Chains A and B, each alone.
Chain A
Amino acid sequence: MRRNNVTLGGAVRGTPMMFAHGFGCDQNMWRYVTLAFEDSYRIVLFDHVGAGGSDLGAYDRAKYGSLEGYADDILELCRELEFRDVIFVGHSVSAMMGVIAAAKEPERFSKLILVGPSPRYIDDGDYTGGFTREDIDGLLDSLDSNYLGWSHTYAPAIMGRADRPELGEELTNSFCRTDPEIARHFARVTFLSDNREDLGRVTTPSLVLQCSEDIIAPTAVGEFVHDHLPASELVYLEAKGHCPNLSAPEETVEAIRRFL
């Protein structure tokens, strides 16, 4: 629980609704969505190990070398909270973690809500994921460039001035801050993952929310997920971009509510 910085809220006796954030942020990205479900559901928020307020010391490169490591954490949390029939809401890469978890222990989940899921980000033969290997290297460069500005670890380590207090101040772009090495690794694991095979193993009723003009998970990818996920529904959102939970919370909430 401490490892994943779990936050419990909502109706104590309500059906558990577990929200998993995607690559780049932490549980804060659900702030506009969870409000709408607090009255009737038990809200479970958490940070993946390596993100937000999680225990960075628990980061293990071998375990988190594939999405399965994260999926195991989700199952562990369900077990510890003695949850069954969880409604799992996963954004971006976490949608696939939910898929893996539901394939492993179907009885834990009653419904899966997948926001902008992609089982594979890189093009592969007939499959269009939207990216190439080089694009992922470009992302890693962007990560590196930006950690120079806001990391506690880089500059002092290079300059040999670990005692400069101004570098330890709270920085503006704080929500997405994490350890740069972990961010790189998570980026690699996320964008090089291939979980297309796992889709067919899920029997849980699922909702796929597909944004328009989402470059991370293009429409073709959402449709691929829907086609291969046996008990799934596909809803096209008008919201543009990859984070409808932030840019169009009302539309997102409405789609989830209708499905539930």
Chain B
Amino acid sequence: MNVESRKKALRYQFEKVVDPLGYKFSPDEELVDFLLEQEVFLERKHGIPYCPCQGLPKDREGRMKLVCPCIPFHREQFDYMKCCWCLLYVHKDVTDTSGLRQIPLSEIPAAGLKRG
């Protein structure tokens, strides 16, 4: 499958996963296109479309938490940011992404967050 077809397939597949989680693809189409392309390359390299914006750890459990869409494993952080770390997915109520920021877990003001 060529890159464009695989990007389309991933987009279709991911949309079905993130919708019930309250997320949608970013309205920034250029960003979405770039990120999906990187995921196709990561899938070709590793066999799995990992998050392009997080470094892969050595352990399998840690890697599984970075399979896109990784929202369920970073729920509190991403809900606070209103987007995932890459900004590939945003909360359904987000229409303008200009105010969104990457906020590290250590700066999320919520008690009891687990690092992963």
Bound together: no
* Residue ranges of B at the interface with A (Cβ–Cβ < 8 Å): none
* Residue ranges of A at the interface with B (Cβ–Cβ < 8 Å): none
